Chain A
Amino acid sequence: MRYESLRSIYHIAIKDMKTYYFKPPAISWGIVFPIAWILAFYLRNPRNFEELIPGLIAMTVLFSTTAMEAVVINFELRVGSLERLLLTPVTLTGVLLGKILGGAIFGLMITAVVTIASVLALGLYHINVIYLLLTLLPSLLLFSALGALLCVLVKEVFEAQTLANLPRFLMVFLCGVFTPVYSLPPALRQIAYVLPLTYTVDGIRVAFGEAGIVNIAIDIVVLIALIPILILPATRLLARRFI
């Protein structure tokens, strides 16, 4: 990719940070919702809470990135400013990548706060930071791309948040956030293996010193490989809306 395109992607992401990070839907779905779940689980069972931390971090990644995509894409679709971006010398893919990067940076900030707070509060100093970063960074981009794919299907922010809830909750319940994947019935386990959050949760568990269901290298490769698989249809759908 050319330098000019990368520069535009960066500027779009930075503009989105300035413009949308404090929009109510981003705060409610991207920050309040994951934190509320974490607190609910902590209050229910404070003793075994640290077992839930990898899943809760993964859930934070999922909700923060997808919530932000609904804001950065659907707000702009509604007011027409996404069309303005497409009138500048930036390709449609470049615009979409800028949006995905903006969502991923928002997710990184929220996830970093949740992770650091959990580590400090629970004394989880034995984590493998390299594994954690190698899992989190592709996951942030991946779920941001998933959010983008869902958001380009609809126009309004609330429609995007509602649509995103279907895969969000499916993954939260099937991908090992609360219940380990190996304890699921075989049919559900097969479904879990095709859902990307499974690999995020698994990678984070390994980074926290737990046993993974697959080798962490597989987790990372799967997460990275799924990013373009989601970006491609999102680009096509966005192109169909405009071109």
Chain B
Amino acid sequence: MVKAIEVSGLTKHYDGLVAVGGIDFEVEEGDIFGFLGPNGAGKTTTIRMLTGLSKPTSGNASVLGYDMGYEIVKAKKAFGVVPEISNMYDELSGLDNLIFMAQLYGLPSRERRARAEELLKTFGLFERKDSRFATYSRGMKRALTIAAAVVHRPRLLFLDEPTVGLDVVAARNLRSLIQRLRGEGITVFLTTHYLEEADILCSRIALLVKGKIIAMDTPSTLKAKAEEKPAVEIVFKAPLPQAAEQLGQRLPDAVVMKVNDKVRVYGGDTAIVLEAVLKYAREIGTGVASVNSLKPTLEDAFVKLTGLSPLAMAAEKGGK
């Protein structure tokens, strides 16, 4: 079976600086593959090489079985790209923008309008189909840019930082839209520096730092790599300022600490920990309001695997 993307030794130098330093990876058809890294890690450079906007200094890339060295136009017919900026035509309406894209992708003239209107309905823009793109909100612009990228029913969609600059609601809508695209069988290659977004959406993730892939796996496996000791978080029904100290004396194999009004227990056998907690609560005459198993987040995995501060991922492009 043809891989959606196959990359080997892909390298890009700019004026002697290594933007991407010999990366290798594969993306299966139907995956949402996350390309995750701080700003300047080489995500956009990689996407530009994979979409034919930039020539690699060395290495090979094939997209949907097409060699990006000499079959770029054929490949472009089979994939769609949503660039980081919503760069449709301000002067054209939403409908005219989509019809123009349908023309460039070679859709038969009788299908263009129907396909454009279908997408406008899917993306919730039909009511504004005759309004100029310039008058759309940021979220609407993003939605139309994605609609334009799927006008020709691509098998693979490249999304470069799709939610940057969107408000919470627009970003959430966009994420459900990406999941819907996957449901339609479209492979998605997503670059983002939002860890939570990658965790929600992606079936596999590659962590890119300074042009190198330093880890690549499913989100759960990456998170498991960050999990050193089992951890539970307990909330007692009554406030117990001494609980952490007293539980610590009963659980010598574990580390017990107070975090706000909660008690966290790291390490030890989970069954013994729970038994001790329940016994302690009974003895002092209170109950346990909740017990949660603490799982490492993708941020924990990122910090552990890259050695970088999570703040490196929090910074918006342009230093915001």
Contact = CB atoms under 8 A, between A and B. Distances in A.
A89 interface: yes
B76 A243 contact: no
Given A15-B92, A87-B52, 6 more contacts: A18-B92, A79-B90, A80-B83, A88-B104, A88-B105, A91-B73
Contacts, number: 63
A81 B88 contact: yes
Interface string A78-94: 01110111111111000
B100 A87 contact: no
B104 A90 contact: yes
Would you list the 5 A-B pairs with minimal beta carbon distance, nearest first?
A80-B87, A89-B76, A88-B104, A11-B103, A19-B91
A7 interface: yes
Contacts of A90: 73, 104
Contacts of B53: 83, 86-87, 242-243
9 contacts: A15-B89, A19-B92, A20-B91, A81-B87, A83-B87, A87-B51, A89-B73, A90-B73, A243-B55
Nearest to A19: B91
Interface string A48-89: 000000000000000000000000000000011101111111
Contact of B104 (A19, A20, A80, A85): A85
Interface string B41-72: 00000000001111100000000000000000
Interface residues of A, number: 23
Nearest to A12: B104
A242 B106 CA distance: 24
Interface of A: 4, 7-8, 11-12, 15, 18-20, 79-81, 83-91, 242-243
Contacts of A80: 83, 85, 87
A243 B52 CA distance: 8
A19 B89 contact: yes
A20 B52 CA distance: 27
A84 B88 contact: yes
A243 B90 CA distance: 25
A84 B133 CA distance: 15
Contacts of A19: 89, 91-92
A40 B121 CA distance: 55
B199 interface: no
Contacts of A12: 104
B147 to A, nearest CB: 13
B54 A243 contact: yes
Contact of B76 (A15, A79, A88, A242): A88
B279 interface: no
A213 B288 CA distance: 103
Given A18-B96, A242-B54, A87 B81 contact: yes
Nearest to B151: A88
B98 interface: no
Nearest to A242: B53
Contacts of B74: 89
Nearest to A8: B104
A8 B104 CA distance: 6
B78 to A, nearest CB: 9
